[in-house]
Amino acid sequence: MRDRKISISYAVIFGVALFTLGGWLGSQADESALKTSMIEQAEPLFGLAFTDTERDSMLENLDNNLTNYQKIHEFALNNDVPPALNFNPIPVGASFEEPQRPIRFSLPGKVKRPKNLEDAAFYSVAELAALIRSRQVTSEELTRMYLGRLKKYDKMLHCVISLTEELAIEQARRADAEIAAGNYRGPLHGIPYGAKDLLATKTYKTTWGAMPYKDQVIDIDATVIKRLEEAGAVLVAKLTLGALAWGDVWFGEKTRNPWNLEQGSSGSSAGSASATSAGLVGFSIGTETWGSIVSPSTRCGVSGLRPTYGRVSRVGAMALSWSMDKIGPICRTVEDCAIVFEAIYGPDGVDQTLYDVAFNYRPDINLKKLRVGYLKDSFDADYPNKQNDMASLAVLKEMGVELIPISLPDLPVGNIGFILSAEAGAAFDALTRSNRDDEMVRQIRNAWPNVFRAARMIPAVEYINANRVRHTLIQEMAKTLKDIDIYVAPSFSGNLLLTNLTGHPCVVVPNGFSENGGPTSISFHANLFDEGRLLAFSRAYQQRTDFHKKHPKL
């Protein structure tokens, strides 16, 4: 699946995915002028029909548009340049005035170092933190253990683009010195992790998983990388992603699912989920535009958090869709997701789409005070692994949760998904026009090179109107969740696209195994910026199951 606060790229319309009619015509025009026959031939692409007089009247405007496009093409627009207009997911009348309260994690009191340190490879962040805090294990020991596993198992999983070994050992030794001096930064101090290779890191390549960028070095650290370093975390690897954040195929190999090496790990956060599932890192960072945390987390049997749009800075991250991209943690437990999220969320003074809203997480949530909805129509449908989802609903009822049937807004959600394609086409405009998209490994119809080209045919008017439908969707979703705190949904349904368009947060949690032995998941959702309650609820469910404690035998 495909892989940022609050703003909609109407600027895209004046660049690439907008009045594309002129752009398409321009590619076929000679130096003299456009012709009415060109307009007539293009009309069916856009569901339009003009008269000869109307076409003739348009020629001068289209010719002027083409000149403007050509001038814009001469101006260097790197991927890190956002549009001037931002997407706003906040419904009319909503406010978020809750003050920030102290965060308390449910950290284990005592954790004993195993005789063989590699047996700790599948420990949660909280458990690893207990070992480090009690100084039973040094960060350097833990880092060298995970580096060894990365080197050993990447040969079969193909989940690593770059090992950051030199940096990791340096960061681990610094952590050990600080902890020995009594300067303990918190539960991420000394914990090794991996980052999806669309996050920039100084001195190490940031390839975006794509052949045209395989030697690219972006000499900055992404905000998320900086914040994790400030928390004391240790970066051990840049992990794979489907090329330009789609799927599990990159320029090296297909990233594998640790539960089934014949199967890809899904995407686009392919390496992040695979490495976390296989116990090659303590946790990882992924991104989602349309399922890229939910899908690989499901496939690999790990827990993932897709935060609210506008929560986590995307500075230093590859842009795919400015109004949909989100960055979040992929971990072994829900509480690990809360620990990592606490370190990375909030404004950074650069990303103008971020909101400064409190994150109030307390694990001791009172389930009886929550109004919990479930998507009745979705659960009533016939779909794969439904039995596991129904068992999850039964667990919630056993926990004393009263499930309230709700329905999603009845709007043409699937029909406005091309918003992503239009913005992605703009983000990689230079790649398309240079023909370097021919270097991409995947060249099938349902792959980025073809999608980027087709995006040039999306008229600006349709892109804007799709976003007007999206605005309506946001208001209707607010009405749906007016009296709901949390709602439960099958991980793969129309809800996945809808909530990525509206910017709502999601936690995906393993909930069993399919007939062929592969992990399955259930998804929990909450209102905008309510990750604290969402994570606490998801943790309560996870504590009643043991699926997160199971791991693949490599």
- Catalytic amino acids? 196, 268, 292
User: What is the Cβ-side half-sphere exposure of residue 367, based on CA atoms within 13 angstroms?
Assistant: 18
Matching residue, tokens 């749906």? 480
CA distance 87 to 90: 9
CA distance 454 to 463: 13
Contact 460, 19 (CB under 8 A): yes
Matching residue, tokens 């370093």? 229
Burial class (CB in 10 A: 0-12, 13-18, 19+), 253: middle
CA distance 208 to 280: 21
CA distance 133 to 149: 23
Contact 194, 170 (CB under 8 A): no
Alpha helix (H) residue ranges in 434-459:
448-455
**CA proximity to 457, closest of 484, 430, 422:** 422
Contact 357, 529 (CB under 8 A): yes
Q: In the numeric block, which tokens belong to residue 9?
A: 């790229």
Residue 27 has a CB neighbour count (10 Å cut-off) of: 10
**CA proximity to 334, closest of 107, 544, 542:** 542
CA distance 291 to 286: 11
Q: Which residues pair with 190 in a beta bridge?
A: none
Q: Which residues lie below 8 Å from residue 105, measured CB to CB, with a gap of 6+?
A: 126, 187, 335, 338, 339, 361, 363
Calculated CA dihedral for residues 273, 279, 285, 290, nearest 10 degrees: 10
